[in-house]
């Protein structure tokens, strides 16, 4: 499985794509929306988007903070009261109402088995890492699909090459590139071009 690039690289690529496409940065990188999608505090998202570090957190603190955010978002979305959510967790997951309340309030850390069941209950597609990953990894996971949407696989390399005077036939002389090679080359070009743009400013 291909490893994800670091957050700094994803942000560089996104900044370049935003400039190239003439997009509004605040529409693409909206801290409030990103905080909701990552269950990170909004101030963390602001810091990370600026390339600054966030306050240190233990894994237990991350899990508690994000579970509370997920529970609050779930209640807002389903128009469920806290007592109703606690009762449903008690009934469906077989935990005491006290434990359910403590987890929803971000006061108790669930064990691995319960965390796994909470992931399924709340429909967290990223799995347990959604709650345990560092803030930079959590934000990166949400930004990568945005980058892919702005950089369609079919034309990203062609567009980059055309803008910089490289004709496709130049590459075909050395054999055709498969989709994975094209994606890799596009990523390298984006990285280099974004770094050049930083040095020219």
Domain harbouring 117, CATH code: 1.10.260
Position 4 scores a pLDDT of 80
Same domain? 99 vs 67: yes
165 vs 130: CA distance, rounded Å? 42
Residue 56: pLDDT band (50, 70, 90) is very high
pLDDT in tens, 118-127: 999 999 999 9
Retrieve residue 16's tokens. 């370049």
Taking only the tens place, the pLDDT of each residue in 71-127 is 999 999 999 999 999 999 999 999 999 999 999 999 999 999 999 999 999 999 999
Distance from the Cα of residue 5 to its chain's centroid: 12
Q: What is the pLDDT of residues 130-161, one digit of tens each?
A: 999 999 999 999 999 999 899 865 445 555 55
| Same domain as 193, residue 159 | yes
Contact 14/28 with Cβ under 8 angstroms?
yes
Q: Structural domain of residue 112, as residue ranges?
A: 59-132
Following DSSP, what letter does each residue of the chain receive, concatenated?
A: -PPPPPHHHHHHHHHHHHHHHT--HHHHS-HHHHHHHHT--HHHHHHHHTT-PPPP--HHHHHHHHHHHHHHHHHHHHT--HHHHHHHHHHHH---HHHHHHHHTT-S---HHHHHHHHHHHT-TT-THHHHS-HHHHHHHHHHHHHHHHS-TTTHHHHHHHHTT--HHHHHTT-PPPHHHHHHHHHHHHHHHHHHHHHH-
- Same domain for 67 and 126? yes
Residue at a domain's end among 100, 132, 164: 132
């Amino acid at each position: 499985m291909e490893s994800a690039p670091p957050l700094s690289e994803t942000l560089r690529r996104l900044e370049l794509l935003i400039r190239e496409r003439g997009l509004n940065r605040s529409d693409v990188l909206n801290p409030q929306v990103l905080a909701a999608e990552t269950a990170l505090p909004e101030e963390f998202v602001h810091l990370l988007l600026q390339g600054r570090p966030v306050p240190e957190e233990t894994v237990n603190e991350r899990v508690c903070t994000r579970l509370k955010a997920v529970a609050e978002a779930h209640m807002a979305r389903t128009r469920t009261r806290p007592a109703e959510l606690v009762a449903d967790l008690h009934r469906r997951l077989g935990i005491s109402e006290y434990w359910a309340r403590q987890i929803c309030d971000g006061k108790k850390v669930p064990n691995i088995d319960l965390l796994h069941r909470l992931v399924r209950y709340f429909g967290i597609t990223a799995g347990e890492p959604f709650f345990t990953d560092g803030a930079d990894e959590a934000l990166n996971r949400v930004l990568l699909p945005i980058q892919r949407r702005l950089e369609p696989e079919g034309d990203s390399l062609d567009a980059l090459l055309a803008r910089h005077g490289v004709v496709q036939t130049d590459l075909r002389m050395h054999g055709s590139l498969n989709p994975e090679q094209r994606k890799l080359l596009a990523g390298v070009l984006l990285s280099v071009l974004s770094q050049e743009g930083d040095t020219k400013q």
